[in-house]
């Protein structure tokens, strides 16, 4: 299951996992048609897929969501559990520290940290032993990008949480890692990089490989981390940034 699998990194991860032979359940928040297009793309690769609406920031709705998920799993696959969880859903926003409000803070926390914490807590009761959880972080937990104080702080909290998950779920054979992309040219944060050539050029200049990333750079790594080949990687932060700010 990939949260926010209807676009950007979540979509590319879903397609790369389908290419590896996985069936998928993806979630979306508001863009239902976009999610169903991804389902069609996955089915075109010969795999089964389903899309469910999820508001990660609404913890009160989790029981209803997992009820729908269980029904969908039984309908499509004849079972009620799954193997892999990718916590990808989220949003961006450039908010300078001195201008950030409590409402801004709460909005980011509910989706990027509190949501990841309690959604995963619910999800693991529906997961098979020996599976994997992959959380998404950001390069901005290692280097500072002004305006990302709230976002990066929440991602930093999830990095710590990832290690605790790995420790506490290890008895079930479930691995937990966190993937931290550098600047990626997607529609994230209103396509901030794609729509700003000067920003794109500046970030490219900071990267050893001389460019910003694309979704395909990340999806392949995410799919690998949710595979048997990566079974001995556990509790780790993997940065995929092309060597930015070395």
Please report which confidence band the pLDDT of residue 187 belongs to, taking 50, 70 and 90 as the band edges. Answer: low
Backbone region of residue 33 per phi and psi (left: phi > 0; alpha: psi in -120 to 50; beta: other values) = alpha
192-242 pLDDT, tens digit per residue, is 677 778 878 888 999 999 999 898 999 999 999 999 999 999 999 999 999
Q: Active site residue: 22, 84, 148, 151, which one?
A: 151
Catalytic site includes residue 137: yes
pTM of the model: 0.94
d(CA 78, CA 111): 31
Closest of 133, 136, 138 to residue 166, by C-alpha:
133
Domains within the chain, CATH numbers bracketed? 8-240 (3.40.50.720)
48 is catalytic: no
Q: Is 155 a catalytic residue?
A: yes
Pairing of the two strands 127-136 and 82-87: parallel
In angstroms, rounded to a whole number, what is the distance separating the alpha carbons of residues 128 and 72? 16
Catalytic residue among 132, 138, 204, 241: 138
Does the annotation count 153 as an active-site position? no
Q: How far apart are CA 72 and CA 49, in angstroms?
A: 10
């Amino acid at each position: 299951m990939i949260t926010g699998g209807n676009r950007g990194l979540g979509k590319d991860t879903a397609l790369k996992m389908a290419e590896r032979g996985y069936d998928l359940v993806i979630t979306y928040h508001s863009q239902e048609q976009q999610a169903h297009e991804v389902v069609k793309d996955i089915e075109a690769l010969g795999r089964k897929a389903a899309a469910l609406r999820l508001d990660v920031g609404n913890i009160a709705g989790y029981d209803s969501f997992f009820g729908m998920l269980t029904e969908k799993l039984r309908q499509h696959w004849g079972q009620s559990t799954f193997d892999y969880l990718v916590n990808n859903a989220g949003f961006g926003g450039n908010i300078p520290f001195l201008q950030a409000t409590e409402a801004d803070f709460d909005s980011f926390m509910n989706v990027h940290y509190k949501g990841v914490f309690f959604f995963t807590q619910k999800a693991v009761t529906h997961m098979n032993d020996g599976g994997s959880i992959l959380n998404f972080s950001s390069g901005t937990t290692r280097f500072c990008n002004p305006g990302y104080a709230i976002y990066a702080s929440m991602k930093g909290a999830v990095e710590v949480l990832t290690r605790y998950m790995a420790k506490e779920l290890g008895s079930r054979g479930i691995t937990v890692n966190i993937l931290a992309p550098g600047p990626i040219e997607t529609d994230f944060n209103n396509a901030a990089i794609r729509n700003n050539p000067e920003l794109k050029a500046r970030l490219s200049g900071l990267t050893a490989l001389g460019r910003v990333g694309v979704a395909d750079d990340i999806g392949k790594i995410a799919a690998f981390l949710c595979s048997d080949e990566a079974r001995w990687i556990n509790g780790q932060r993997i940065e995929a940034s092309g060597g930015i700010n070395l």
